Structure 1
């Protein structure tokens, strides 16, 4: 398989993210509500370890004093409960908003993709499998759902947890904050770079074969009458089996690479755990940390580790979503071959006279023109028969009048209108 450099993937990633941002800009208020609610919910997770540590210290002090739980213990117990309930409420708001946001985006994308495909040239449709085109659109639609959920509901909270935990721990122990920050950034940079440079090329190739597989299935089934007419069932079976084999090999390569990255990320998290817990024990051995503060560090790391582990998986989800959206974005970005000029006015046909004036036309994949300096007139109501051998341009003549293709030169007038 041909390897792609990271910068070679960047243009595609930028196209997909720019496309997504354009869709976000259509719903700024809803996007702001989702992000605000997720930030508030995540801040509750940031503060939870802090109050858990305070609860342990308060209980420890009360036990040493042989006295009942103090007001500080009750407060340290009550605040996490309030934070948890508030976090649940904020996540509820975020998910309701996300549902509305994604459904509107998917509806817009599907409608606009259909609008584009309907207006592509006859030549484009003649050279594109209908099943493949449908697969490109539907796969991209659901990839857009996964991309939004991953970015707004998982990756955004992960970065908030990283920043919040680093700030709180750095406020108590600056070195601990540096360990948290550096270890987390190395983990994320490692995950992103490997996903884009190692997994994405294989996933992109697997998606292209997935498109071919869908096209082969759809076209064989839709043209079953032709297949039966020529007794070609065995040939179609062999053709599909060949495509299926190639798809399976390429999909397996993509999945195996994703598994390798997941295992490597697990080893990186173990190394980060050794650094964090080891430094916490060092502080405790020198009397610079209480049992509650040790519990605070351990709880913070457990929370951060959960988010980082999920972030590693969701970085792969983003990469997978980007690969799945590539062909959909290409459809949206493709220019319509036969487009009206901005100053064009609706044609008004009264009589129906047709004039070819020095018409020059050739198909894109043919070096020789089919028509060269062709001029003729067909009066309104006149009946004309087109006679000639196969491939002489009889069908093309009608298609040019319908403007299913643009001319290479000259013009066609209907009642004097171009």
Structure 2
């Protein structure tokens, strides 16, 4: 448990003052709790029994003696004072500890999210999104519960146990050791069960993560599931994964339920032993009744923390399993390396050169590119063609450093891209993909994703040039219309035009278009192509496509074949080999921004 917490020590350091103050208050609260039984001893021995008080604390409570009613009032007042101060200090210490635990958790979650975002694309392609989400949500929450349990339960109870042991031995050494003799069996029982609960909790957590991953995958592909009528199959898969999670969870629950009764039974044996010996001592006159009552109170206080620790074992075991998963992800070092002395980059001209680039997706995998070379001048438009799996997408993925080649180099304006900071490098590149990804939010938000600082007027201008305004009058709130996750409430052509507007706003000198017109009807294709034509002006552009219309305006075509960029044909040969002139028909005048008046209804929110 403490080892799991130690993994997060770098997140604990900023909260050390609050944790330290909380720990000091815990110690003070423990001292007050240890003093609470002694007014009862004064009442029993001093007031009822009439015996003179010895020891600094009973003497302090009883005062100088005298009238028994005065001693009784002083003892009762001391009880109120001790309990009240203990409650106040307990409240403040719990607040400090729990607040620190919550803040530490938020910091860990933010660090984990930032780390996962920066892991390489190859890492993400081999992960299940649902499992990553589970680590960022459920695992973090359970780690928080563990930290709160450590700060709010373990530390106070551990301090209480230590204080009780010291006081009992100091007051009556032999009797105190007798009362503490039950502690080793309690520790062994708790330790044995905690280890089993931890193993069961780890298995349950892995099963839960698998369930979350499968659920995320199925719901993300709900259109495919329904199209093939596979709801029943997914029901069975979900039920099977749920049963696996349930079996592991029930084993942990069974172990957790069995621990507190065992602790109670062992504690009962200790209580009976101490009571028997203590009564014998009182009858023999070797111990006062008040001291025996203090010891019995301490005994209850001794077993109460142990029972609390046994109950928190399940929470802690879950937290330890989750903390291991979080820590494993934080330790994952699958990032694109960056030069420590990365040079600052402003806007580049856009010259791109590949020099003898060799790339494979793994040591045992075949080479996708083999000593491939290509030079593209600023503002040049290059079409990339080749059979499926030839390496077209791999080629353009190397430019923004989604992957690094095993050999060779890629240069922008004559500088190796490994000399740039990743953020600066990727500011020089815009992408429009075959399946444009839109975020849950407004159309305005999705366009502004290209430049969060863009003014409403700039967003409107990009939307107009990309023909987004063509369909705004059919939406309830224009640019402020909220769209579904992944843009599911829009057509493919509408999503693609929003992606083009986003790329326009990004305003990078290098543009990568990966099958931008696939699956579009003729009208949507015409609008998208016109928007792309506006987007590609004065930008170095790579166009991956099998459609002649998308390649109509490129300056040359490069074919990826057998790992080489060998076959180079001009646009006119593309037209000859594929028949008709691929230049798209003109965008209808009703869709042309120059022919359409700007209508206030399109600029929702006054933009």
Normalized against structure 2, the TM-score is what?
Answer: 0.63
How many residues are matched?
403
Structure 1 or 2, whichever has the larger Rg, is 2
What's the counterpart of residue 123 of structure 2?
124
Matches of 1:415 and 1:14, distance apart in 2: 53
Matches of 2:348 and 2:141, distance apart in 1: 48
Matches of 1:376 and 1:179, distance apart in 2: 85
What's the counterpart of residue 312 of structure 1?
310
Q: What's the CA shift for 1:254? A: 1.6
Matches of 2:2 and 2:345, distance apart in 1: 40
Q: What's the CA shift for 1:265? A: 2.3
Structure-to-structure mapping, 1:158-169, within 5 angstroms = 158-169=157-168
Q: What's the CA shift for 1:31? A: 0.9
What's the counterpart of residue 19 of structure 2?
31
Q: What's the CA shift for 1:393? A: 0.8
Contact 2:197–2:313 (Cα < 8 Å) also in 1:
no
1:252 aligns with 2:240: no
Structure-to-structure mapping, 1:132-151, within 5 angstroms = 132-151=131-150
**1:205 aligned residue (186, 203, 206):** 203
**2:238 aligned residue (237, 240, 259):** 240
Matches of 1:271 and 1:333, distance apart in 2: 47
Q: What's the CA shift for 1:189? A: 4.5
Normalized against structure 1, the TM-score is what?
Answer: 0.89
Contact 2:98–2:151 (Cα < 8 Å) also in 1:
no
Contact 1:62–1:68 (Cα < 8 Å) also in 2:
no
What's the counterpart of residue 5 of structure 1?
none
What's the counterpart of residue 60 of structure 1?
48
Q: What's the CA shift for 1:186? A: 4.0
What's the counterpart of residue 228 of structure 1?
226
Question: Relative contact order (C-alpha < 8 Å, sep 6+): which is higher?
Answer: 1
1:47 aligns with 2:35: yes
Q: Which has the higher strand share?
A: 2
Q: Structure 1 segments of 4 or more deviating over 6 A?
A: none
In structure 2, list runs of 5 or more residues that go unmatched: 52-65, 417-607
Q: 1:414 to 1:15 in 2, by over 3 A?
A: farther
Matches of 1:212 and 1:89, distance apart in 2: 44
Structure-to-structure mapping, 1:327-346, within 5 angstroms = 327-346=325-344
Matches of 2:358 and 2:39, distance apart in 1: 80
Contact 1:116–1:336 (Cα < 8 Å) also in 2:
no
Contact 1:62–1:70 (Cα < 8 Å) also in 2:
no
1:52-80: CA deviation from partner (whole Å, max 9, x where unpaired):
222211232249xxx96344333322222
Q: What's the CA shift for 1:366? A: 4.7
Q: Which has the higher helix share?
A: 1
What's the counterpart of residue 184 of structure 1?
183
Q: What's the CA shift for 1:233? A: 1.4
1:329-364: CA deviation from partner (whole Å, max 9, x where unpaired):
222222242131222223445221222222221113
Q: 1:294 to 1:14 in 2, by over 3 A?
A: closer
What's the counterpart of residue 350 of structure 1?
348
Contact 1:15–1:329 (Cα < 8 Å) also in 2:
no
1:287-323: CA deviation from partner (whole Å, max 9, x where unpaired):
2111111111111111222222112212332222111
